[in-house]
Structure 1
């Protein structure tokens, strides 16, 4: 069939729309009309049409959340009531700790410490058992709750490394010398060829650093002062980084999680970290 138009031997067809197309268009229109009537669909001011079926996604999600809370309440109450040692000795509870602890850590801590909890430069490794403030469960839980240098909690832990060079407390030669001495505390071979600088640095250390790090450089966990004699370095163990830390100082920050995590979640996360250290 044609429309009767013809140009240069070309005729314009008048092909009707296939019946299948009409069928699916009609079915789609009827489905849309039925959906509008049965399901929530149209906004009406501050609300919307509820639909004859009364379907509500928000109520369904809330119901699932409540169900999940009920499922967690049983083992959550056990974790809250038991001490750390008994929890770690309970294989069934530890399976729960590893599963939910991994989720908690991934949601809240992995952005800084990494999914494996081994940290990166400036963010400590949580699996090496080298803890600034102490590695017993209660101390770790307290650090999680109140944070470090955090404005979110009035009882936050406070720690700061002074900027000895930037603030003019030490001159450049003293900064370089004490950096050599500090390096030698964890790497005795560093003294070779630098005996004079290390000796000068020992004097500078005794006059400026002993009050925090102690006469042997072992630090003070009560104040979050790092041990300078081991191989765990937060910012790096190369001599350039050590010089930078002495010159510019450091004041890292860890958020306080007590306002976001429940006491059971803090306890669970603490056990999860201790367990990761044991299974390292």
Structure 2
């Protein structure tokens, strides 16, 4: 065994390693660090004995104290449900249009509706209910089937074009590509665009207005304000569900897209549907 090298300046032995003539001193660890390290080991062993910690094939060691954070969560959730029970019963017994008249009930419904929205609705309508391509923005005042709280409740409960539910909203815009000439479709698209923006060819607007009056006004209204009984959207405000460009409008007139919204009443129950209706109605666009 070779003798340890002693540094001439400090008198401390080196580790035996050398890099380009540089040696590393073999200084001992500070006492406070060693004692802290030993205490951490003792603490870890004690923790592993007292609490669930060591994984086994079908679970983990239970620990001498028998503590379970999962059991605590289950207990807290059970207590929360008991605490909410009275309010949920009150919501179930109160017509959805009257909930706003009880401030405590309104606040509870908004909180519950917000939570239910994040779990069930945000995937399509966005976390802020701002909508996405093909899914309506719920913050504005453009409602195809009406924006009163009772109308919103019906839409959420029974859905749109959801064939399983007898009370679902049903409407279907015909494919005008089979009824109108291509030039007529361009003309009516130009007219519709002119109600909220500038069309690419203003000379088509007058002819498009005639086409609109003959083919579209029966559902969308003489002034293109929409008719909620038919689920026909307002066309005069520049808010578009299927696209706002002239090409998108032409495509929708020629061969319209029809979305489907499921009925939620059987999945979530009436109290949750009422809370969702109250929450959506308070977003700012409710009528």
Same fold, judged at TM 0.5 (above): yes
1:29 deviates by: 1.6
Contact 1:119/1:125 (<8 A) preserved: yes
Residue 81 (structure 2) aligned to one of 54, 57, 69? 69
- Which residue of the partner structure matches residue 100 of structure 2? 88
Query: Are residue 42 (structure 1) and residue 54 (structure 2) matched?
Result: yes
For residues 147-170 of structure 1, give each alpha carbon's deviation from its aligned partner in whole angstroms, at most 9, with x where no partner exists: 33458x5555444444444xx554
Name the SS of the counterpart of 1:96 in structure 2. helix
Question: How far apart are the structure 2 equivalents of 1:9 and 1:235?
Answer: 83
Alignment CA distance shift 1:229-1:123 (3 Å)? same
Query: Are residue 125 (structure 1) and residue 137 (structure 2) matched?
Result: yes
Query: Are residue 264 (structure 1) and residue 275 (structure 2) matched?
Result: no
Question: How far apart are the structure 2 equivalents of 1:108 and 1:227?
Answer: 27
Residue 30 (structure 1) aligned to one of 31, 39, 42? 42
Question: How far apart are the structure 2 equivalents of 1:26 and 1:228?
Answer: 75
Contact 1:181/1:201 (<8 A) preserved: no
Q: Which moved more, 1:113-122 or 1:133-142?
A: 113-122
Contact 1:122/1:234 (<8 A) preserved: yes
Contact 1:162/1:250 (<8 A) preserved: no
Question: How far apart are the structure 2 equivalents of 1:237 and 1:170?
Answer: 21
Question: How far apart are the structure 1 equivalents of 2:237 and 2:45?
Answer: 73
- Which residue of the partner structure matches residue 224 of structure 1? 231
- Which residue of the partner structure matches residue 258 of structure 2? 251
Name the SS of the counterpart of 1:97 in structure 2. helix
TM-score normalised per structure 1: 0.76
Which blocks of at least 5 consecutive residues in structure 1 are unaligned? none
Question: How far apart are the structure 1 equivalents of 2:7 and 2:87?
Answer: 85
1:172 deviates by: 1.9
- Which residue of the partner structure matches residue 56 of structure 1? 68
Alignment CA distance shift 1:274-1:200 (3 Å)? closer
TM-score normalised per structure 2: 0.74
- Which residue of the partner structure matches residue 145 of structure 1? 157
Q: Which moved more, 1:73-82 or 1:218-227?
A: 218-227
Question: How far apart are the structure 2 equivalents of 1:22 and 1:187?
Answer: 76
Q: Please show how residues 199-238 of structure 1 align to structure 2 within 5 Å.
A: 201-202=211-212, 206=214, 209=216, 213=220, 220-228=227-235, 232-235=239-242
Runs ≥4 in structure 1, deviation > 6 angstroms? Answer: 7-10, 188-192
Q: Which moved more, 1:136-145 or 1:56-65?
A: 136-145
Alignment CA distance shift 1:84-1:199 (3 Å)? closer
Alignment CA distance shift 1:65-1:21 (3 Å)? same
1:34 deviates by: 0.9
Name the SS of the counterpart of 2:45 in structure 1. helix
Contact 1:213/1:220 (<8 A) preserved: yes
- Which residue of the partner structure matches residue 5 of structure 2? 6
Q: Which moved more, 1:234-243 or 1:92-101?
A: 234-243
Contact 1:160/1:250 (<8 A) preserved: no
Contact 1:163/1:250 (<8 A) preserved: no
RMSD: 3.7
Question: How far apart are the structure 2 equivalents of 1:101 and 1:223?
Answer: 27
Question: How far apart are the structure 1 equivalents of 2:203 and 2:218?
Answer: 28
